Amino acid sequence: MRLRRFPEAIEGFAFLDSPSDAVSKVVGRAVPAGPFKDALSGTWLGHALHPLLTDLPIGFWTSAWMLDIVGGKRSAPAAQKLVALGIVTAIPTAASGASDWADTAGGEKRVGLVHGAANSVALAAFVASYLHRRRGNRAKGIAWGWLGAAAATAGGHLGGHLIEALGVGVDNTVFEAGPQDWLDVGATTEAVEGSPHLVDAGGVPVLVVRDGLRLVAVADRCTHRGGPLHEGPVEGGCVTCPWHGSVFRLEDGEVERGPAALPQPKYEARERDGRIEVRRFALAQG
């Protein structure tokens, strides 16, 4: 049996939509758009935070599990400390994951809900494991640890599916090459001061905005979850994504406000004989 069939089946479970919506509302209220959500998203880091944090509880719990297997009784205090460290680090990990999950939809949201549920079971099992170890009941502590490890493994598998198969947390522009040479994308009269203008740059959607005598341009598909930036407002040299409110500078594509962690690819734009021309900035520099 191929492992991917399990998460693929979950993608089609429409009955998960109702609990997903209910939990999503709670998460949205607990983590509204703003500095706290940006902190959990990794906007300050320039990288999604959740995938980095997951290494901590997984690493601590896996290490405890290994000590239980090969370390013998002498390693019981160390294993107990590792279980505790896993519990402590699981809390910010869960918070960042829940915040990211609230911005997903459809099959991603269903898989994400089960991913979170599996990891919640893992956390509860390791809390029980820790309590038993503290009371001196090592055998029960180890048994709960095994249950926690199994749940965390299932949760980890679903987390991998979310990233690798569904692209959650992946830069939505990563496969957009954009034209290396100047490309005619329309008449200059179509670019009106301060108004977002969508152009097709060889199959890549690009947002062009007139800024006085010059034109500025960035990739139109939002790096966060692919929102259409040309449908968002342009103000103060920035564009706001209509989906989750990330704000990007038009000058260089940098993130002014999250939840996006990655900047928009920058394009160069110019006017030639009444026509707009664009080319990919980074490739042009090469």
- Minimum CB separation of residue 242 from ligand FES in Å reads 8
| Residue 68 or 108 having the CB closest to ligand FES | 108
Q: Which residue has the tokens 């203008």?
A: 197
SS3 category, 194 = coil
Exposed/middle/buried for residue 26 (C-beta within 10 Å: 0-12, 13-18, 19+): exposed
Q: Does residue 207 come out as left (phi exceeding 0), alpha (psi in the -120 to 50 range) or beta? A: beta
Q: Which residues bind ligand FES (CB under 6 A)?
A: 103, 222, 224-227, 241, 243-244, 246, 259-260
- Minimum CB separation of residue 180 from ligand FES in Å reads 26
| Residue 42 or 179 having the CB closest to ligand FES | 42
Exposed/middle/buried for residue 73 (C-beta within 10 Å: 0-12, 13-18, 19+): exposed
| Residue 159 or 227 having the CB closest to ligand FES | 227
If residue 173 lies in a helix (H) or strand (E), which one and from where to where? none
- Minimum CB separation of residue 28 from ligand FES in Å reads 13
| Residue 241 or 250 having the CB closest to ligand FES | 241
- Minimum CB separation of residue 222 from ligand FES in Å reads 3
Q: How far apart are CA 195 and CA 235, in angstroms?
A: 9
> What is the chain's percent helix, strand, coil content, to nearest 5?
50, 20, 30
Q: How far apart are CA 245 and CA 252, in angstroms?
A: 18
Q: How far apart are CA 275 and CA 239, in angstroms?
A: 23
Identity of the amino acid at 168: V
- Minimum CB separation of residue 103 from ligand FES in Å reads 6
Residue pair 133/121 in contact by the 8 Å Cβ criterion: no
- Minimum CB separation of residue 247 from ligand FES in Å reads 9
Q: Does residue 99 come out as left (phi exceeding 0), alpha (psi in the -120 to 50 range) or beta? A: alpha
| Residue 154 or 260 having the CB closest to ligand FES | 260
| Residue 103 or 176 having the CB closest to ligand FES | 103
| Residue 60 or 248 having the CB closest to ligand FES | 248
- Minimum CB separation of residue 218 from ligand FES in Å reads 12
- Minimum CB separation of residue 268 from ligand FES in Å reads 23
| Residue 97 or 145 having the CB closest to ligand FES | 97
Helices (H), 102-217: 106-134, 138-164
Q: How far apart are CA 150 and CA 146, in angstroms?
A: 6
